Amino acid sequence: MPIAFEGVSYSYADPARQEKRKSRVKRRREAGVIEDPPSLEHGKPAWGADPDAVWALRDITFALDDGEFLGIAGHTGSGKSTLIQHMNGLVHPTRGRVLLDGQDLADKRAAQACRGKVGLVFQYPEYQLFAATVREDVAFGPRNLGLPADEVDRRVEAALESVRLDIAELGDKSPFELSGGQQRRVAFAGVLAMEPRVLVLDEPVAGLDPVAREEFLSLIARLHEEGLTVVMVSHSMDDLARLSDRVLVLNEGRQFAFGTPAEVFAHGDELRAIGLDVPAPQKLACELRKAGVNLPQELYNVETLADDLAAAFNSQAETDTGKGGSVRSGEAKAAQLLSEAAPDGTARPAGGRSERHHA
C-alpha cells in the first residue's frame, strides 16, 4: 500500500498558542483554580473540548492500494483538500500518522523523499504557472531534483507528450499565450515530469467547458491505466462512479463512507442527508426499478443504463407486439428517457460517450 492514514486528526489551531494555553491551564489546575474537564471520549478529550481547536479532520483511517483509483467526495468544508495535503507531507497530523511505503511522513527525511513520489495538482493549477516558456515551467520540478540536463529534457518531452502537447510547437512559447485548457495541461505536465507513483488531483476539471472536461477525464483515466495510482477529489458523483475503484466520503472532517462506488452509492438517502447525492443515472435507475423496469446492475452510468434500458424496452416491445400492440425501438425509448427524464436533473442527455475504464 503506497499511502495509509492511521487515526489521522488535524487541527488548524495555532500549535504555539495551544501549548501556551495548556501550560496556563495546567498551572491553574495545580493551583486548584479549575477542575479537570469532565468531557472525555475513550479516555481522550471530546471533540470541541478545546475552544482553540478547529478540527478539519477527525480520526481518518484508510489505506490506498497500489494502482488504485480513489475518489474523494464531500460537501464544501468537509476536509477533502486538507486530507490530500497530508498525502505528500505538506501538512502533518495533529494526531495519528500518515505512512508512505511504511515511512511516517512526520519524519522530515521521509516527507522530503515523498515529494517526488506523490504529485499533488491543486485546483486551477494553471494559476501556478510562472516560467517564461512552457519548456522551462515543466522542467522546474525535475531540475530541482538535481537531475542531469539530458534527463530533465527527457522528462519534459515525455510529460508534454503524455498530456498531448507538441513540444516542438509549444515548448518555447510563453504558457500565458496558451488557451486555458492548454495551460492546465502544462501544469499537469509539470507534475508528471517528476514521475510520481501517486497522482493526487483536487477538482481537476473545475471551470472547464464540457468538451475540455471530458478530454481531461479521459487523460486522467489513461494515466491510471498506464499504472499511476490516482486520488481525485470531485463534486461530481457521476465522475467518481465512472472512474473510481473506491470512494471515500467525508462529512465535517469525519470518514462518512468508504467502499466501492456500488457500495457507497447504494445509500442514497444517507448521502442526501449530508448534502450529497448519487450519480444521476443511478438515481434514475432506482426510480425505474420502483416502476417495475428490470435493471440488474448495482451501479449505473449513462452508457450502461442506456444499454440495459434498450434491452428492457426491446423485450417489452416484443411482448406488446405479440399482444397486438405498437412497436417502438428500445433504443429510441431509452434515449428519450435519458434526455428528457426530469427537469430537476434526475438524468442528463447522453451527449457523447466518454472514455471509461469501469462499468
> What confidence tens digit (pLDDT) does each residue in 181-236 have?
899 999 999 999 999 999 999 999 998 999 989 999 999 999 999 999 999 999 99
* 130: three-class secondary structure by DSSP: coil
213-250 burial, b for 16+ CB within 10 Å, e for fewer? bbbbbebbbebbeeebbbbbbbebbbbbbbbbbbbbbb
Identify the CA nearest to 64 among candidates 264, 228, 250, 279: 228
Cell readout for 317 is: 416491445
Cell readout for 171 is: 515548448
Partnered with residue 120 across adjacent β-strands are 200
**In the predicted model, is pLDDT for residue 304 greater than 90?**
no
pTM: 0.78
Partnered with residue 258 across adjacent β-strands are 248
Kind of pairing, strands 246-251 and 69-73? parallel
Q: What is the pLDDT of residue 348?
A: 40
Residue with the bigger pLDDT between 70 and 116: it is 70
**In the predicted model, is pLDDT for residue 300 greater than 50?**
yes
Q: What is the pLDDT of residue 317?
A: 61
* pLDDT band of 178, cuts 50, 70, 90: very high
What's the CA gap between 339 and 212, in Å, rounded?
A: 21
Identify the CA nearest to 147 among candidates 159, 160, 156: 156
Q: What is the pLDDT of residue 158?
A: 96
* 294: three-class secondary structure by DSSP: coil
Q: What is the pLDDT of residue 38?
A: 45
Strands (E), the chain: 3-11, 40-41, 44-45, 55-64, 69-73, 95-100, 103-104, 118-121, 198-202, 229-233, 246-251, 254-259
Given strand 198-202, what is the order of strands in its sheet? Answer: 103-104, 95-100, 3-11, 55-64, 254-259, 246-251, 69-73, 229-233, 198-202, 118-121
Domains in the chain, CATH or no CATH each: 3-17+53-273 (3.40.50.300), 280-340 (no CATH)
Contact 205, 132 (CB under 8 A): no
* 269: three-class secondary structure by DSSP: helix
What's the CA gap between 101 and 286, in Å, rounded?
A: 41
162-188 burial, b for 16+ CB within 10 Å, e for fewer? bbebebeebbeeebeebeebbbbbbbb
Give the count of alpha carbons within 13 A of 79, CB side only. 25
Written in H, E and C, the secondary structure of 94-113 is: CEEEEEECCEECCCHHHHHH
Across 275-280, average pLDDT: 90
- What's the whole-number average pLDDT of the chain? 83
Q: What is the pLDDT of residue 40?
A: 40
